[in-house]
Structure 1
Amino acid sequence: MASSGVQQDRPRGCTRPMYRLASVVLVAAVLLGTGCETLGSRALRGERGNYNIALQQSNDEQLLLNLVRLRYRDNPVFLDVGNITTQFSLETTLDAGIEAEESAGDIFSLGGGVTYNTSPTIQYTPLSGEDFQQRLMTPLGLDRMLLLYQAGWSLKRVFTVLVQRLNNLENAVRASGPTPGSAPEYETFQQALEAMRGLERLGLLELVQENLLDGEPRSRVVLSLKEGAWDQPQAELLARLLGLSRRKLLYPIIPRGLVQGVDVPQGDYIMVETRSPLGAMFFLSHAVDTPEDDQRTGKVTTTRTNAGQAFDWHDVTSEVFEVKTSAIRPTQASTAVRYRGAWFYIADTNLETKSSFAMLNQLLILQSKPAEAPPPVLTLPVGR
């Protein structure tokens, strides 16, 4: 009698149990091999997202911690994450067996396991040295200020945080360092900013970079008013507060002190004194609330008015920045750090503070590496 088809296909020298066992092993190897091929891509998708979130949270916490340190007059420390490397390891085990019984047929058993491990290595680099400190303490260039404005940050936010003097108007100048003991001048500066913001919302004011083609290519930062701006009361108020020549449309913005000895009407341009990145951090640090015990024991400076009353720094910064404090870990915080036994946090619903925090982070990234020499920002005399 002819043998069955299965018996004909069985390799020579293989008994039926051995043939079935080889088939099981072959199938298992294929399955495990397929798992190895897909494991790498799955690990990349999962681990990259986790590291991305962790790095963002770590950067935010470091920046907030340094702002709190400045409030206490403690030294800030910056650590940069240089490299993140991860080693993936995979261990597989496989157990297979077969029992042959004449009556019940073959009984197969298959078992195994896969163990997946990661070993991350993170390299931290302290940001220090004379070069870094100089960039941190150098007043911001007008090109950088314009870059932040063109990136979408409002003129009011940029000027509030980064400008400490606009012509003769002061924006808490001494706030660019440790918390002063006496209340700052800032009200008239804020009035000028409100006038500028009103015109900006009407689409009648913006900061632009004007290219000059006379001789060598040059450029300057200009406060530009549109046609119809002088029909608005905000323009008249801005001209009065800054001492500007009326009915002009372009006012070059120049660093304070650049035009000394130049015979040009003062009302034809706007002098700006910017803060350094460290000065901007000091300025925002005054908006960090502190525990009453720390205030009472003198661990932080209490600014006072001429009448001897405690000055509220939220009058200067509340519209753009505010950090709360709590004895327990906050539950509704976008960023929170523990320092000196208390929690300091940015409320997740405080969108203005989160925006200013993000802008400050961008500023520090811009200043973390040397910038190319900026182009000239002023050409005098002003012809229009």
Structure 2
Amino acid sequence: MAAAAVSACTALGPSVVQRDQPHYADALSEASKQQLLLNIVKLRYLDAPALISVSQIVAGYSRSGSVTLGSQVLSDNLNLADDIAVGGSASFLESPTATYVPIKGADYARVLLTPVSPSDLFALVDGGAPAEVALTLALGTINGLVNRQVGANNAVRDVEPEFSEAMGLLAGLIAEREIGFRFDPGGEGLRSVTLLIRDDPTSATVPRIQRLLKLLRLKPESRVVPVRYGFGRGAGEEIVVDTRSFLQILSNLSADVQPPEGHIEAGLTVAVDTAPTIGSIRILSSFRPLVPPSESYVSAAYRGNWFWIAEDDLRSKRVFSVLLMLLSLFERTGPAATPVIAIPTR
């Protein structure tokens, strides 16, 4: 009977993968969202951001079972009710181990302080990310047009109207396939990016194309425009972009955090007077010890207060999703670096 029970068991591995992979993927996604939100809130309070990544998850499983059968068949007085004993036992053990890698040193500088490369940014846009949101988040200037900028002590320089108009025109023309990109290999593993403008004088988009070229201070006949990293207005035949580091992106979003009542008066943070842009988010807060807000898209606790993005705030959710995409451009790939923290959960 025991042999039959063991042989009847199905394979454990395939069913475990099917059951657990979506759950682990969802847990990692939620953890990344919470860490990202928490770092935005920290910067609102002039606190230093911290990053830690999950480099490895090892989940071990074991299953065992046994069946026992006993009888006193040699007894002089055999009684089936008393002299035959049947027993069994079964066990299932799950022992996942998560390995965390603190991002510090050179990795910290690369992830937080290195400006995103223009080729990576426009490749993200060309791949389907919302162009207006991604460009508004990641560009500081484009051919001299200045985006909203949050500086030291949360001092804000509002976005120039021409910048917002140019981003709207560029995003619309990209969506209509009137503008595309060419990516060419460059030295030291870098790529160059060239903006390509459809040359069709009969197209209804010609007025918008000419307006975009004027805003970007390009020649009206420009159709193939190189894009490079730099600062300034360019020479009329190229687009010069000053891209932001991830720390700059988070710092700009920190101005959108609404602190709990009394925090500004108490000097815990400073007041920020800024107009929202297409790349802004709305982060709410309240004092609710140990009680996370309900109906939130993402929430995080910081110093006894809860901060969150509302589930029905579709604009903020869209911006936050693009922010996660941008983070993937900065994150390290390859073997894990030391030190690591391995936490077995049993």
Q: Distance in 1 between matches of 2:163 and 2:233?
A: 22
Among candidates 350, 354, 366, match of residue 317 of structure 2: 354
Deviation digits for residues 99-133 of structure 1 (CA, Å, limit 9, x no counterpart): 7799x995665332212121222221111013431
Q: Does structure 1 retain, via aligned residues, the 8 Å contact 2:110–2:330?
A: no
Q: How does 1:357-368 map to 2 (within 5 A)?
A: 357-368=320-331
Aligned to 2:283: 323
Tell me which amino acid in the other structure corresponds to 2:241: V
Cα separation, partners in 2 of 1:150 and 1:185, compared to 1, 3 Å:
closer
Tell whether the 8 Å contact from 2:144 to 2:232 is kept in structure 1 after alignment: no
Q: CA RMSD in A?
A: 3.2
Q: Which has the higher contact order (CA 8 A, sep 6+)?
A: 2
Q: Distance in 2 between matches of 1:248 and 1:131?
A: 40
The percentage of counterpart residues that share the same residue type is 26
Counterpart of 2:337 in structure 1 is none
**Distance 1:199-1:46 versus aligned 2 partners, 3 A rule:** closer
Whole-Å separation in 2 of the counterparts to 1:71 and 1:185: 19
Give the counterpart letter for 1:162 in structure 2.
Answer: A
Larger Rg: 1
The residue number in structure 1 matching 2:33 is 60
Could you say which residue in structure 2 is the equivalent of 1:194?
A: 168
Please state how far the C-alpha of 1:31 moved relative to its aligned partner: 1.1
Counterpart Cα distance in 2 of 1:180 and 1:125 = 30
**1:291-348 Cα shifts (integer Å, max 9, x gaps):** 1221222222213xxxxxxx244x225x653322234422212221111222112223
Q: Are the counterparts in 2 of residues 336 and 343 from structure 1 also a CA contact under 8 Å?
A: yes
Residue aligned with 1:75, SS: coil
1:99 and 1:106 in contact (8 A); partners too: no
- Correspondence for 1:255: 229
Query: Which secondary structure state, in structure 1, belongs to the residue aligned with residue 93 of structure 2?
Result: strand
Task: Report the TM-score when normalising by structure 1.
Answer: 0.73
Give the counterpart letter for 1:77 in structure 2: A
Deviation sequence 1:42-96 (CA, Å, 0-9, x none): 3343333333322222122111111111111111111111222233233434343
SS at match of 2:141: strand
- 1:321 is paired with a residue of what secondary structure? coil
Alignment of 1:112-151 (within 5 A): 112-151=88-127
Q: What is the TM-score of this pair, normalised by structure 2? A: 0.80
User: Which one-letter code corresponds to 1:204 in the other structure?
Assistant: E
Which residue number corresponds to residue 203 of structure 1?
A: 177
Q: What secondary structure is seen at the aligned counterpart in 1 of 2:15? A: helix
1:294 aligns with 2:263: yes
Shift of 1:188: 2.3
Q: Is the 8 A contact 2:40 2:250 kept in 1?
A: yes
Instruction: Verify the 8 A CA contact 2:255 2:274 in the aligned structure 1.
Output: no
Letter in 2 for 1:334: Y
State the AA in 1 paired with 2:271.
T
- CA offsets 1:162-217 (integer angstroms, 9 cap, x no match): 001111211023x2x455334424322112222223433443233x01559xxxxx
Measured in 1, the distance between the counterparts of 2:158 and 2:216 equals: 19
Report the equivalent of 2:134.
158
CA contact (8 A) 2:256 2:280 kept: no
Q: Deviations over 1:142-163 (max 9, x none)?
A: 1111221122112211210000
Are residues 1:271 and 2:234 paired? no
Structure 1 residues 12-31: aligned runs within 5 Å: 27-31=1-5
Does the aligned pair in 2 maintain the 1:198–1:234 contact within 8 Å?
Answer: no
Unaligned runs of 5+ in 1: 1-26, 213-217, 261-265, 304-310, 372-384
Q: Is 1:184 paired with 2:158?
A: yes
Determine the C-alpha separation between the residues in 2 that align with 1:183 and 1:233.
30
Question: 2:254 maps to which residue?
Answer: 285
Match of 2:304 among 330, 341, 346: 341
Letter in 2 for 1:148: L
> Which protein has the bigger helix share?
1
Distance 1:342 1:79 in 2: 22
Distance 2:37 2:178 in 1: 36
* Structure 2: runs of 5+ lacking an equivalent: 186-190, 335-346
- Is the Cα contact below 8 Å between 1:209 and 1:222 reproduced in 2? yes
Residue 137 of structure 1, CA deviation: 0.9
SS of 2:120's partner is: helix
| Distance in 2 of aligned mates of 1:256 and 1:184 | 21
Note if 1:42 corresponds to 2:15.
yes
Structure 2 counterpart SS, 1:73: coil
Hey, what's the Cα distance between the residues in 2 that align with 1:320 and 1:221?
28
CA separation in 1, counterparts of 2:233 and 2:169? 25
